[in-house]
């Protein structure tokens, strides 16, 4: 059987080697390989048997030895903005990634978990309500125009839509803004429209 002496085999023959990825250093498996006298180990292989890895772990070849490390490969989230990325290397996640998805745009990374930023949450809700107001103002304008030249009985409907339009314009100054449950009601008796 060939023996490795000072990095070279003393004779030719078949041996078992343990191989690892040259990209990720992850253990790939045990393989029989033919070695030639005077040559060294094939690239990406060692004679040392690796340890067993548990659930959520992987064995990698690092600094001349096998090491068991956590395996977080797969979807991860950037702590700067919560964007999902694919993490492809075994081992601990870098500090700019987490396995926890961002609950919403109103959350910021707090070092260990996503934390609700109340000011940002209020700003985002306000932006959403402003978009809703603009949409409702266009609808109210069309309704006012539609009833302006209509028969006399439509005057009260036109007036109700004008009132609604004014309530929409005043909505951002209300102490209840941007609570969508407290929005002005449409004059047609419908409940508040969802955003």
Domain around 106: 74-114
Residues 84 and 99 in one domain: yes
Residue-by-residue pLDDT tens, the chain, 195 positions: 888 888 899 999 999 999 999 999 999 999 999 999 999 999 999 999 999 999 999 999 999 999 999 999 999 999 999 999 999 999 999 999 999 999 999 999 999 999 999 999 999 999 999 999 999 999 888 888 877 776 666 677 888 888 899 999 999 999 999 998 999 988 875 545 554
Q: Is residue 189 part of a domain?
A: no
Burial of residue 69 (CB within 10 Å: 0-12, 13-18, 19+) is middle
Residue 154: count of CB within 10 angstroms of its CB: 13
Residues 29 and 64 in one domain: yes
CA distances from 91 to 7, 29, 61 (A): 29, 19, 12
Give dist(CA 190, CA 21) in Å, integer. Answer: 64
Domain endpoint, select from 87, 114, 141: 114
Q: Is residue 135 part of a domain?
A: yes
* Helix (H), strand (E) at residue 129: helix 118-148
Residues 135 and 177 in one domain: yes
Q: Is residue 193 part of a domain?
A: no
Residues 54 and 31 in one domain: yes
DSSP state of 14: E
Q: What is the pTM of this model?
A: 0.63
Residues 64 and 109 in one domain: no
């Amino acid at each position: 059987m060939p023996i490795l002496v000072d990095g070279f085999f003393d004779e030719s023959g078949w041996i078992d080697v343990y191989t690892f990825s040259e990209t990720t250093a992850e253990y790939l498996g045990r393989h029989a390989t033919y070695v030639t006298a005077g040559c060294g180990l094939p690239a990406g292989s060692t004679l040392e048997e690796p340890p067993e890895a548990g659930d959520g772990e992987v064995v990698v070849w690092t600094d001349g030895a096998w090491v068991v490390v956590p395996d977080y490969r797969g979807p991860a989230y950037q702590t700067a903005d919560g964007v999902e990325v694919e993490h492809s290397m075994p081992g601990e996640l870098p500090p700019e990634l987490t396995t926890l998805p961002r609950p919403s745009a109103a959350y910021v990374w707090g070092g260990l978990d996503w934390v609700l930023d109340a000011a940002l949450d209020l700003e985002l809700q306000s932006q959403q309500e402003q978009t809703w107001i603009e949409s409702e103002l266009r609808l109210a304008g069309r309704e006012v125009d539609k009833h302006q030249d209509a028969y006399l009985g439509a005057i009260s409907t036109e007036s109700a839509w004008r009132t609604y339009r004014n309530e929409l314009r005043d909505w951002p100054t209300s102490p209840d803004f941007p609570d969508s449950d407290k929005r002005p009601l449409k004059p047609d008796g419908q409940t508040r429209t969802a955003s």
